[in-house]
Each structure stands twice: as structure tokens, then as C-alpha cells.
Amino acid sequence: MSAREQFMTTHAKNIEAKRVYRRFTAGQNWEHAILLISGIVLFFTGLPQKYRTTSWSQQILSTPERLETIQQIHHIAAIVLILLVIYHLGRAIYLMIQRRLPAAIFPTIQDLRDAWQMIKYLLFLSKDKPKFGKYNFEQKFTYWFIFIIVGIMVFTGIIIWYPELITRYLPGGLVPAAKLAHSTEAIVAAIFIVIWHFYHVHLERLNVSIFTGYLNEEDMKKYHTLEYQQLTGEQIEDADTGGSQ
């Protein structure tokens, strides 16, 4: 059995007579789920703490007990997020040592070319849409944006959590700066996820592969043409231009 046939046997299924392809591993599905849940909890427990002077926040944090409960929930979710970051980085380092870390998620000069080509296509300056592999430039931007945001959130959150310990070794002005950065980055992340990520993944087209792990053949052909061609060896007819992708 050839490598291509083995891949199709192992990773392709028939669901309603449609072939699907493994896009994410079960571990990646769980990582996304944990990130989503912990992020939602952190946002909704952090928001009333950021806007304590507002009437709605004062109703939520009306007693010291309520404030303590909100902070405890926030800290538990933060611990979960920190453990997830440690796991994610640890696994990446392990795969790097084993020389098995996939390079598809890393930005390349081709992403700039694809972004420029997409701009020309949207402005009707070109008939050809760019062709993408496993991840397009938008998905790479989303991953690295969230990666950096989460890093800032974890770093500043630890400073806020242990101000006395941190100020033994670092200037005291770092604490209010960390508070400002922490709360501001949380708002930026929420806006980005809702407007950019949620729109492109769930509204522009319904893509639930990060939850199921699989992507149907039609979407593979349309949105990940280069990866599909690499896996199957087929050339895809571009319906928009009549050319091959």
C-alpha cells in the first residue's frame, strides 16, 4: 500500500457519502476547547473587576464575599490557562527536538504574497484567488496574535497576582503598568476574536473542524487547495478562473 493510499485509509471517512480529512488531532481539539472555556471565564470574571466604578459591576461585586468568589474563579481559570500554555510550549519544544515540529503554522514570505494577491482579487484587479496549504495567512495571523496576547496576559497576570514578590526584584511601577496592560489586552483579544476570528471561521463559512478534527472534501478543495493536491495528487479546476489551482 502506497503512502497516499495508507493516508486515505487511515484518515478519510465517509459521512453522508462525503469524504472527510483529518485536520486537527484530538489533542489540538482539546487544547482549543480548554483555551475557549478558560478564556470565556477569565473575560467575564475580569470585566467587572476592571470596571468597578460602574453600576453593573458594583451590583455583581456588592459584597467582599462576592468579590472574593469572582477572584477565586478568575484565578482557577488562570491556572488552567497557564497549564495549557506550559503544555503547548512543552509539546512544541519536544517536537522541535525530535525534528517533527510542523512548519505549516510559521509565517513565510509566501504569506505576504498571498495577502497581496487576495487584496488584488477583492479589488477586482486580478481574477485569481491565492492558493493555500494547511493554513492561510489569516489563520497564521490569528494563531500568532492570540499566542502573543496570551503570553502578555499570563506574564502580566502573574505580576498582578504576586505584586509583593515581583517588586522585591523589579521596580514597583511595573505593577500598575501590568494591570493596565492585562485588562487592555483582554479587551483587545475579545474584540479580535469576536470580529475577526469568529466571522472568518463561523460566519463567512461554517468551519467546525477545530471541534471535530475533520474537514470535508469540498472545503479542502476550496480553502486548502495546495494541501489537498499534496495529499491526493489531484489537480483542482478553479471555477472562478477556469484554471487549475
Q: 141 and 218 share a domain?
A: yes
Mark whether 58 and 122 lie in a shared domain: no
Mean pLDDT of 110-138: 95
Q: For cell 486537527, name the residue.
A: 24
Residue 238 inside a domain? The answer is no
Mean pLDDT of 41-56: 94
Q: Is residue 244 part of a domain?
A: no
Q: At what angle do helices 225-232 and 3-11 cross, to 10 degrees?
A: 120
pLDDT at res. 121 = 95
> What pLDDT does 5 receive?
54
Residue 15, pLDDT score: 42
What pLDDT does 6 receive?
55
Mean per-residue pLDDT for 150-160? 95
Per-residue pLDDT reduced to its tens digit, 215-239: 999 999 999 999 999 988 888 766 4
The pLDDT tens digits of the residues spanning 1-41 come to 555 555 555 554 444 457 899 999 999 999 999 999 999 99
Q: What is the pTM of this model?
A: 0.84
User: Considering the domain boundaries, does residue 144 fall inside one?
Assistant: yes
Distance CA 20, CA 44 (A): 36
Q: Which of 101, 117, 140 is the last residue of a domain?
A: 101
Residues 78 and 124 in one domain: no
Model pLDDT, residue 227: 94
- More confident position, 172 or 8: 172
Strand positions, DSSP E, the chain: 13-15, 18-22, 214-216
Residues 144 and 223 in one domain: yes
Last residue of a domain, one of 101, 126, 142: 101
Q: Is residue 18 part of a domain?
A: no
Within this chain, do residues 115 and 88 fall inside the same structural domain, yes or no?
A: no
Q: Which residues are bridge partners to 19 per DSSP?
A: 14
Task: Report, as an integer, the average pLDDT of 196-214.
Answer: 86
Instruction: Please tell me whether residues 65 and 131 are part of one structural domain.
Output: no
For residue 51, pLDDT beyond 60: yes
Q: For the chain, what percent of residues have pLDDT higher than 90?
A: 78
Residue at 7 is within a domain: no
Q: Taking a C-beta distance cutoff of 8 angstroms, is the pair 85, 93 a contact?
A: no
Residue 19 phi, psi dihedral angles, 5° rounding: -80, 140
Whether residue 87 sits in one domain with residue 119: no
How large is the average pLDDT for residues 146-173?
94
Provide the CATH number for the domain around residue 217: 1.20.950.20
Average pLDDT over residues 70-82: 97
User: Mean pLDDT over all residues of the chain?
Assistant: 88
Residue bearing cell 523589579:
170
Question: 187 is in which domain, residue-wise?
Answer: 108-232
37 with 94, same domain: the answer is yes
Q: Among candidates 181, 115, 105, 180, which has minimal Cα distance to 147? A: 105
Do 82 and 35 belong to one domain?
yes
What's the mean pLDDT in 181-188?
94
In this structure, the answer to whether residues 65 and 124 fall within a common structural domain is no
Asked if residue 186 is part of any domain, the answer here is: yes
User: What pLDDT does 184 receive?
Assistant: 93
**Does 17 fall in a domain?**
no
**Percentage of residues of the chain with pLDDT beyond 70:** 89
Question: Do 130 and 212 sit in the same domain of this protein?
Answer: yes
Shared domain for 95 and 114, answered yes or no, is no
Whether 243 maps to a domain, the answer reads no
Q: What is the domain count for the chain?
A: 2
pLDDT digits (tens, 9 = 90+) for 16-26: 457 899 999 99
Domain final residue pick, 56, 81, 101: 101
Check whether 132 has a pLDDT greater than 50: yes
